[in-house]
């Protein structure tokens, strides 16, 4: 199967340190600004681009050829083959979440039995710009050596300002607008949606629980629940002081809590720990982590810019997992109380499912 993208326009990526990369605009033609980050995954771009944690970011894919297996069909309301509890099967949310995509080579011809359109066509549909013909190896080396930085894609004579997403409330742009209920299980889990990936919800529902999915600024006292999952999401965790205060109340009540990615950082802040920004973050499907005080290692899927400072953990808390590449924290756990969180994604999608047992571990504490 082959599709031809719209005519190309010359565009350029400008980094805040003055580096400029010229390439071809594809997808939706517009200038955009954000934080430039890279992902080393070799596949899984439909899931990656729909991950709400990428809100505010310009994503660089290091794999040289992107788009070769096209894009599967989005959610059809009455098509059970394409949905699960009303959730799109092939994506992590209902739209592309990244600000822009940067790749070395765009595959205009695609082939897969589920594909219905090209990558460029999909980007056009959601008005997301792409930039191809870039030396992504050189760009990634700059981001690794100098750290993640702000950048902007400009087309023709456009001249736009840089934008720092770390100062904004990005979660408000990706959370659900109101409370939703899914499933009919006896255990009632409140899922705090900070930009929740679909696969977190499906992993809970497959374990026969009732999920009460609520916005991140919801009044938790309005609902009855047996445990709480705080989801992944975009941005700087210290921005969300109201959410941290709400989670502190959950800890005082000793409600079982599981935090994932942003949820991990929020839980740590609520416990009294501190977070910091990593030099270039972790974004891939092959991040190795080691469980604390054991020889068990796992390969994990990750997407985050910030990390928890293990040395700042208060008494009663300890590291649960550590990253084997840079030693940064990948999870925390309370010694006696039912509180735990992980920096990686146990739901994967894309990536290995080595750590899906995290959900079972959490639900054992939910009575």
Domain range for 137: 9-167
Question: Are residues 130 and 184 part of one domain?
Answer: no
Question: Are residues 359 and 271 part of one domain?
Answer: yes
Question: Are residues 344 and 238 part of one domain?
Answer: yes
Structure tokens at 38: 């890279």
Return the closest-CA partner of residue 105 out of 24, 50, 169. 24
Return the closest-CA partner of residue 15 out of 188, 154, 202. 154
- Whether 146 is in a domain gets the answer yes
Residue 61: CB atoms within 10 A of its CB come to 23
Number of domains in the chain: 2
Q: Which of 167, 194, 219 is where one domain is finished?
A: 167
Question: Are residues 240 and 127 part of one domain?
Answer: no
Question: Are residues 176 and 133 part of one domain?
Answer: no
Residue 272 CB-density burial (10 A; 0-12 exposed, 13-18 middle, 19+ buried): middle
- Each residue of 295-316: pLDDT tens digit? 899 999 999 999 999 999 999 9
d(CA 334, CA 233): 23
The ranges of the chain with pLDDT < 70 are 1-8, 75-86
Question: Are residues 127 and 185 part of one domain?
Answer: no
Question: Are residues 333 and 234 part of one domain?
Answer: yes
- Whether 4 is in a domain gets the answer no
Question: Are residues 142 and 30 part of one domain?
Answer: yes
CATH label of the domain that carries residue 121? 3.50.30.20
Q: Cβ contacts of residue 360 below 8 Å, gap of 6+?
A: 207
- Whether 2 is in a domain gets the answer no
DSSP, residue by residue, 4-69: -PPPPEEEEEEETTS-EEEEEEEES---EEEEEEEE--SS-HHHHHT-GGGTTEEEEE-SSEE-TT
Q: Which of 138, 167, 196 is where one domain is finished?
A: 167
Q: Which of 167, 189, 218 is where one domain is finished?
A: 167
Question: Are residues 266 and 189 part of one domain?
Answer: yes
Question: Are residues 46 and 105 part of one domain?
Answer: yes
How confident is the model at residue 85, as a pLDDT? 66
Question: Are residues 127 and 219 part of one domain?
Answer: no
CATH label of the domain that carries residue 328? 3.40.50.880
Listed in sequence order, the DSSP H helices in 73-212 are 119-125, 136-146, 198-205
Point out which residues pair with 214 in neighbouring strands. 192
Quick check: 46 and 82 in contact, CB under 8 A?
A: no
- Whether 1 is in a domain gets the answer no
The answer to whether the bond into 192 is cis (omega within 30° of 0) is no
How confident is the model at residue 9, as a pLDDT? 81
- Whether 246 is in a domain gets the answer yes
- Whether 79 is in a domain gets the answer yes
Structure tokens at 340: 């735990």
Known catalytic residues are 261, 345, 347
DSSP, residue by residue, 290-337: EETTS--EEEEEEEEEEEEEGGGPPTTEEEEEEETTT--EEEEEESSS
How confident is the model at residue 73, as a pLDDT? 83
Question: Are residues 280 and 192 part of one domain?
Answer: yes
């Amino acid at each position: 199967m082959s599709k031809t993208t719209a005519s190309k326009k010359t565009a350029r990526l400008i980094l805040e340190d003055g580096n400029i990369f010229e390439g071809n605009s594809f997808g939706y033609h517009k200038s955009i600004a954000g934080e430039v980050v890279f992902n080393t995954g070799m596949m899984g771009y439909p899931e990656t681009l729909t991950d709400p944690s990428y809100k505010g970011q310009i994503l660089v894919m290091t794999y040289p050829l992107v788009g070769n297996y096209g894009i599967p069909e989005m959610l059809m309301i009455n098509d059970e083959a394409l949905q699960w509890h009303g959730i799109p099967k092939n994506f992590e949310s209902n739209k592309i979440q990244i600000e822009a995509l940067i790749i070395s080579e765009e595959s205009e011809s695609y082939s897969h039995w589920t594909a219905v359109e090209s990558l460029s066509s999909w980007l056009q549909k959601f008005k997301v710009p792409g930039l191809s013909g870039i030396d992504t190896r050189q760009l990634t080396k700059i981001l690794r050596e100098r750290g993640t930085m702000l950048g902007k894609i400009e087309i023709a004579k456009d001249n736009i300002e840089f934008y720092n997403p770390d100062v904004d409330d990005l979660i408000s742009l990706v959370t659900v607008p109101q409370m939703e209920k899914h499933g009919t299980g006896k255990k009632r889990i409140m899922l705090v949606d900070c930009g929740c990936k679909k696969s977190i919800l499906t992993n809970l529902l497959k374990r026969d629980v009732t999920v009460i999915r609520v916005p991140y600024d919801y009044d938790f006292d309005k609902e009855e629940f047996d445990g709480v999952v705080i989801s992944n999401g975009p941005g700087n965790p210290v921005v969300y002081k109201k959410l941290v205060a709400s989670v502190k109340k959950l800890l005082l009540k000793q409600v079982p809590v599981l935090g994932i990615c942003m949820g991990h950082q929020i839980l740590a802040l609520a416990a009294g720990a501190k977070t910091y920004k990593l030099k270039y973050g972790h974004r891939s499907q092959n991040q190795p982590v080691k469980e604390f005080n054991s020889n068990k290692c796992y390969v994990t899927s990750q997407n985050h810019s910030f990390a928890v400072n293990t040395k700042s953990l208060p008494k009663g808390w300890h590291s649960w997992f550590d990253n084997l590449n840079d030693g940064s924290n990948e999870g925390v756990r309370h010694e006696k109380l039912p509180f735990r969180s992980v920096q990686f994604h146990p739901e994967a999608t894309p990536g290995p499912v080595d750590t899906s047992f995290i959900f079972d571990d959490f639900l054992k504490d939910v009575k």
